[in-house]
Amino acid sequence: MSPAREEILGKLRGALKRGPLTGERAAKLEARLANHPAGIVPRRSEGLDRKGLTKLFEDQAVEIATTVERVRTLADVPRAVADYLSCHNLPAEFAAAPDPLVDKVPWSERPLLKLKRGKPSPTDAVGLSVGFCGIAETGTLMLLSGPDNPSTLNFLPDDHIVILPASRVVGPMEEAWRQLRESRGGAMPRTVNFITGPSRTGDIEQKLEMGAHGPRRQHILIVEDESLR
């Protein structure tokens, strides 16, 4: 153990006028971590059904300059992506996450679209990922790093498109944490990215400018298909 560590912990204990915590007090702290109680959760997403949550998510996302398109099924995704690309004069080639959901999209219906699976190269203009959750409370996307969704996809390309099944839209952030804990038995991925709109800065005279370092545009495709999880 480093002397700095011991000295700092010793000073903290001295300031708190006690030794290391043991017994009941330590057990209480253990229990607080194990139960990780949620605090006050804003009512704005309370009691909403799937439709209500999706609407709140969409409204909040639009508010922070994300664009959203709803599609019925995964079969509609190639058309939606192609439209987005042509509408913004973007190349038909893009980097796409190796997520199983992306495999289910019938890309062959749009033979001109060229997918590069895996992490993007610095020159890729467009990235496509799959969202783990959408948080309706604030219009925030939650993306997990891992082999399915390289985190660089979220930051390097100028345009970031995210596929999000409507069934993955939750109310508050606490609910998103709950889903994460359940899906991976409490193990954290290297990175959890909460993304609330496209990159921006107000550092020059407080004037808001998009695309400081991350994507200039953020586009979400909400897939309404109820059978998708």
Partner 1 sequence: MQSTSHAFKDNAHEALGNRHLQSALDKMRAGFPQRRLDAIGKLPEFEDLREQGREIKNHVLENLDWYLERYERNVIAAGGHVHWARTPEEMRQIVLGLCRKLGARTVTKGKTMIAEEVGLNDFLESEGVTPIETDLGEYIIQLRREPPSHIIAPAIHLTKGQVEKTFRETHTDLPPDRNLEEPRSLVAEARTMLREKFLKADVGITGANFLIAETGSSVIVTNEGNGDLTQLLPRAHIVLASLEKIVPTLEDAAALLRLLARSATGQDMSVYTTVSTGPRRAEDPDGPGEYHVILLDNGRSGMLGTEFQEMLRCIRCGACMNHCPVYGAIGGHAYGWVYPGPMGAVLTPSLIGIENAKHLPNASTFCGKCESVCPMKIPLPKMMRHYREREWQRRLSPPAARVGLKFWAFLALRPPLYHFFYAIAAQVLGLLGRRQGSFYNLPLAGAWTATRDMPAPQGRSFQEMWHQRRKKKAV
Instruction: Give, as ranges, the residues between 154 and 193 that touch partner 1 (CB under 8 A).
Output: 154-156, 172-174, 177, 188-193
The length of the chain is 229
Q: Which is nearer to partner 1, 110 or 160 (CB)?
A: 160
Print the binding letters for residues 26-65 with partner 1: x by CB under 8 A, - otherwise. x--x--xx--xxxxx-xxx---------------x---x-
- Counting contacts by CB under 8 A, is residue 129 touching partner 1? no
> Cβ neighbours of residue 40 under 8 Å, at least 6 residues apart?
none
User: How far apart are CB 191 and partner 1 at their closest, in Å?
Assistant: 5
- For residue 116, what are the contacts with CB-CB under 8 A and spacing of at least 6? 93, 94, 95, 96, 124
CB 108 → partner 1: shortest distance, Å? 25
Q: How far is the CB of 7 from partner 1 (least distance, A)?
A: 6
Q: Rounded to 5 degrees, what are φ and ψ at 101?
A: -65, -35
The least distance separating partner 1 from the CB of residue 112, rounded to whole angstroms, comes to 26
Distance of CA 42 to the CA centre of its chain: 20
Residues 142, 131: Cα–Cα separation, whole Å = 6
Which residues in 74-86 are b (16+ Cβ under 10 Å) and which e?
A: bebbbebbbebbe
Instruction: For the segment 74-93, give every residue that binds partner 1 (CB under 8 A).
Output: none
For partner 1, give the closer residue by CB, 73 or 145: 145
